[in-house]
Amino acid sequence: MQRITVQTTPIEGQKPGTSGLRKKTHVFMGPHYLENFIQSIWIGIGGVEGKTLVLGGDGRYFNDRAAQVILRMAAASGAKKVIVGQNAILSTPAASNLIRINGTDGGIIMSASHNPGGPDEDFGVKFNMPNGGPAPEEVTNKIFEASQKVTSYDIMETQDVDLSEIGETELAGMEIQVVDPVADYAALMEKLFDFDAIRLLLGSGFRIRFDAMHAVTGPYAKAILEQTLGAPAGSVVNAVPSPDFGGGHPDPNPIWAKELMTAMFSSEGPDFGAASDGDGDRNMILGRNVYVTPSDSLAVLAANAHFAPGYEDGLKGVARSMPTSRALDRVAAAKGLDCYETPTGWKFFGNLLDAGRVSLCGEESAGTGSDHVREKDGLWAVLLWLNILAIKQQSVAEIMMGHWSEFGRNYYSRHDYEAVETDKANALIDELRGKLDTLPGTSVSGLTVETADEFAYDDPIDGSHTGQQGIRIGFEGGARAVFRLSGTGTVGATLRVYLEDVETDPMNMHRDAQSALANVIAAADEIAGITRHTGRTEPDVKT
């Protein structure tokens, strides 16, 4: 065993996005690529000498090999200790929890979240701060700057560390603690929720189906839902994590979780259905013949969180990402809660959570969470839903009907145009940006534009400013369309178009969302020239 210094040169494009650095797996496996980025993290956080970190990932292809490289580099750079999930596996919320309860100096999570995995698909690495949340832009900028200047990295030349057995070992003086990836997370969930009430619900003939999508949440859901709460064996399906997610796309939405959708919309469908994604931080909620949009789910959880012991004293406040529907705002207004609107990216919720401004937050992209960790948390959302169902003794459909009757319904959909040529996507946004001042007062597809702007965010805690976070078009009557380019893909650009309208008439609250939003969809296409710029007549995904 020896420490060696490897000479290297900067590699272009190692700029972390909203959730770390994501590239094709073969790119990360290229010479020096992973090592350069890890060294840049060390530099960006002021070194790792004497520090304790958490390490784990979602089990996708290259997860095991990358973990060994990171451990050897941490040891060579003088880290004191690394807490690793068994077999280098940790869901993202579980990793956040481990960082927090152990008071570590942060952690490295190996994941590309909901992106597909495998040798020809995606891999990712991100650094999470000592609060358990994703690194803010100040830190990711330092990491990127370091990646442009890196000239060498230190690494131990040694055999692999055995990560299959729980316990402690050491590498070149650095302690390595291999932990059960589920245990501490499960203990936290038991503190937050009424497990006795959920057990009674699941023992009453109430049937659930949780689709882990061959991803990291499988072992967590099996342990909590089946073994602890008593759901019948087989309630959790696709529960064994796979390096390529069973050849599927681990994104919990109606398109990629089609097997679950078919089951839930059958005549013999279960009472409750849910899915989570690659790294366990997203969720999809369904009832029998009912799909609950992520925006509606967030609003329902905010309205009913007090039924769970962890939130029985009420919420401090709530927050949503700007493209998320304003259904949450209606709940907040009715309950007298502060409601914050942030840019897309979970890291923007961190300051609000740390400052005690909010207890619950979420994004339209199937991410919801609370102040229990500093990441979104898919299984947490499922358990909160089950807690609410157990106490209210209503079906998912009845809860949704009651919610809309009380607060109104925000019809909502997101249209994704994937892998658009980057120059075409940028041209669309630039053209749209250039006519914002002239849009108000114009009529488009039967709607009148009331407001048009580009969203910018001034953080109320640290005063930081974040601009160019999406273009918003507001129409008279409460409808709106939002346009932004996503930073989570690895090929081209994904144009996301968010469409929303408000309905307060109970007689009109049960329409198909795409039909209810037809005018908004047409107006969005006309205003932005989507077909003209992209050549696409339909989005790749509708959620």
Cite the active site residues. 113
DSSP lists the bridge partners of residue 170 as: 175
Alpha helices in 367-517 (DSSP H): 378-392, 396-407, 422-434, 513-516
The answer to whether 297 and 286 are in contact (CB under 8 A) is: no
Which value, to the nearest 10 degrees, does the dihedral of the CA atoms of residues 128, 131, 133, 136 take? -80
Two tokens, residue 228: 């602890």
Ramachandran angles phi, psi of 383, nearest 5°: -65, -35
- Give the long-range contacts of residues 446-454, CB within 8 A, separation 24 or more: 446/519, 446/523, 447/475, 447/476, 447/477, 447/479, 447/519, 447/520, 447/523, 448/475, 448/476, 449/473, 449/474, 449/475, 449/476, 449/527, 450/474, 450/475, 450/476
Measure CA of the first residue to CA of the last residue in the chain; give whole Å: 52
* Rounded (10°) angle between helices 33-44 and 63-76: 50
How far CA 129 is from CA of 1, 132, 140, 244, 529, in Å, comes to: 31, 5, 11, 28, 40
Q: Is 37 helix (H, G, I), strand (E, B) or coil?
A: helix
What are the DSSP calls for 284-328, one per residue? Answer: EEEETTEEE-HHHHHHHHHHHGGGSGGGTT--S-EEEETTS-THH
Q: Which of 394, 392, 390, 386 is nearest to 235 (CA)?
A: 386
The answer to whether 141 and 122 are in contact (CB under 8 A) is: no
Q: How many whole angstroms from its chain centre is CA 215?
A: 14
Dihedral sign for Cα atoms in the order 96, 97, 100, 104: negative
Q: Is 132 helix (H, G, I), strand (E, B) or coil?
A: coil
Q: Quick one: DSSP state of residue 135? A: P
